[in-house]
């Protein structure tokens, strides 16, 4: 029996009588809360190229126990639409009333992923769990390329390449937002942080055994994707599946306290130009990370003032404490970046923004990135298209 399922999983089994096929390879999990076009997302999955193994789709329609009548009505319409939906892929649907304190995308995603673990265990396969959102679209080779990634037994988790849909009424805002997302990750790549990957929930895919190993999905109401990947990526055998594309929506949303929908809504109502983290923050991190090997070899170090302010007066002791835990330089470097991880970086970025480097307009930040990596000038949409190309090619930043 799985220790994870016994101790940490959502205790209520959704489909205890479902008997999976022996060739089950992928389970796609879709959390759904007052989504107007879940059918469109399902149509995109059903239009995918045929895979070698069987693909199962789990939809978790969810709302809090004290959901408004309007939210309940939206979910009821979704459930009614699903009653007559003819799916090429096997489709399991669950309607969950969630505890108000925990209700949100994190818990809904966890419930579906935990059930995927149960089903895979019944099938005898250590297959891939795929996160998809109810407003997403995808390329025809989406499922096939994810299945191919997990056909390599070494692959434990990964992220699928994404491009936001740009044809909607929020075109300018979504261009700005995706530019920011790519600027932040490409800024981290510039620092040579080894775990710089996009962390959108609709991009995540993970092997069942790795999902259990890291303790499953968390129940955060937003940001569940970032925290899940922050604990998953350092385990290694993590891939970027850039040979296909998932396409998140550009629509406004009030469902979560931050994320794409919230960001687009804020941009639409903003009275000032969109601003982002100052490039100097990434330059300071690059200098800091360039000294990691010398931390192992030497006893006297100099690091940027922003880092000493962030780490505190005992920063040398903190690094020496990391050194004590390992016996080689290679192990020290790995342990260092487990300590100074993506979450610690984000906290540093916020301190540097608040105390040292004020945000700059998006255009200035992108110009820094453009100058560093010599892509062409142009409109913001043209710059975004170029960044997409560079990111897909996994350029060494």
pLDDT given at position 79? 97
Low-confidence ranges of the chain (pLDDT < 70): 251-272, 394-397
Residue with tokens 């200035």: 364
Structural domain boundaries in the chain: 3-165+194-258, 279-355
Contact (Cβ atoms closer than 8 angstroms) between residue 393 and residue 188: no
The CATH number of the domain covering residues in 3-165+194-258: 3.90.550.10
pTM of the model: 0.93
Can you say whether residue 265 is alpha, beta or left, with left for phi > 0 and alpha for psi between -120 and 50 degrees? alpha
Pairwise CA distance, residues 185 & 353, whole Å: 17
pLDDT given at position 251? 67
pLDDT given at position 393? 87
pLDDT given at position 253? 52
pLDDT given at position 256? 47
pLDDT given at position 268? 43
pLDDT given at position 397? 40
Pairwise CA distance, residues 290 & 224, whole Å: 30
Going by C-alpha positions, the residue among 31, 207, 210, 14 that lies closest to residue 105 is: 31
Three-state SS at 219: coil
In sequence order, what are the residues at sequence separation of 6 or more whose Cβ sits closer than 8 angstroms to the Cβ of residue 184? 276, 277
> φ and ψ at 246, to 5 degrees?
-105, 145
> How confident is the model over 211-223, as pLDDT tens digits?
999 999 999 999 9
* Neighbour tally for 100: CB within 10 Å: 12
pLDDT given at position 13? 96
Q: What is the mean pLDDT of the chain?
A: 92
Q: How many Å from the N-terminal Cα to the C-terminal Cα in the chain?
A: 44
């Amino acid at each position: 029996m799985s220790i994870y399922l016994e101790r940490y999983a959502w205790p209520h089994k959704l489909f205890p009588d479902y008997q999976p096929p022996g060739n089950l390879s992928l389970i796609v999990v879709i959390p759904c809360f007052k989504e107007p076009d879940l059918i469109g997302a399902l149509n995109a999955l059903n239009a995918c190229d045929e895979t070698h193994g069987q693909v199962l789709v789990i939809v978790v329609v969810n709302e809090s126990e004290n959901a408004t009548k309007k939210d309940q009505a939206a979910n009821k319409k979704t459930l009614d639409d699903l009653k007559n939906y003819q799916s090429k892929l096997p489709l399991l649907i669950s309607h969950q009333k969630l505890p108000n304190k925990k209700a949100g995308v994190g818990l809904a995603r966890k419930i579906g992923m935990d059930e995927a673990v149960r089903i895979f265990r019944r099938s005898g396969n250590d297959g891939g769990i795929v996160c998809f959102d109810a407003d997403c679209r995808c390329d025809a080779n989406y499922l096939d390329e994810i299945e191919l990634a997990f056909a390599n037994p070494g692959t434990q988790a990964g992220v699928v390449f994404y491009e936001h849909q740009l044809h909607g009424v929020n075109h300018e805002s979504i261009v700005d937002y995706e530019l920011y997302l790519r600027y932040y990750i490409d800024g981290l790549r510039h620092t040579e942080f080894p775990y710089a990957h996009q962390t959108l929930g609709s991009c995540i895919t993970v092997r069942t055994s790795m999902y259990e190993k890291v303790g499953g999905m968390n129940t955060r109401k937003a940001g569940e994707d970032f925290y899940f990947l922050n604990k998953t990526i350092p385990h290694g055998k993590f891939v970027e599946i850039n040979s296909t594309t998932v396409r998140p929506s550009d629509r406004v949303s009030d469902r979560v306290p931050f994320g794409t929908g919230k960001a687009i809504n804020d941009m639409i109502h903003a009275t000032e130009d969109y601003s982002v983290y100052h490039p100097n923050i990434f330059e300071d991190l690059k200098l800091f990370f360039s000294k990691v090997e010398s931390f192992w070899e030497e006893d006297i170090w100099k690091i940027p003032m922003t880092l000493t302010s962030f780490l505190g007066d005992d920063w040398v002791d903190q690094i020496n404490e990391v050194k004590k835990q390992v016996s080689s330089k290679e192990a020290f470097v790995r342990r260092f970046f487990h300590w100074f991880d993506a979450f610690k970086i984000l906290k540093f970025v916020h301190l540097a923004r608040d105390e040292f480097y004020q945000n700059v307009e998006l255009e200035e930040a992108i110009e820094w990135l453009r100058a560093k990596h010599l892509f062409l000038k142009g409109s913001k949409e043209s710059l975004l298209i170029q960044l997409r190309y560079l990111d897909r090619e996994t350029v060494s930043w």
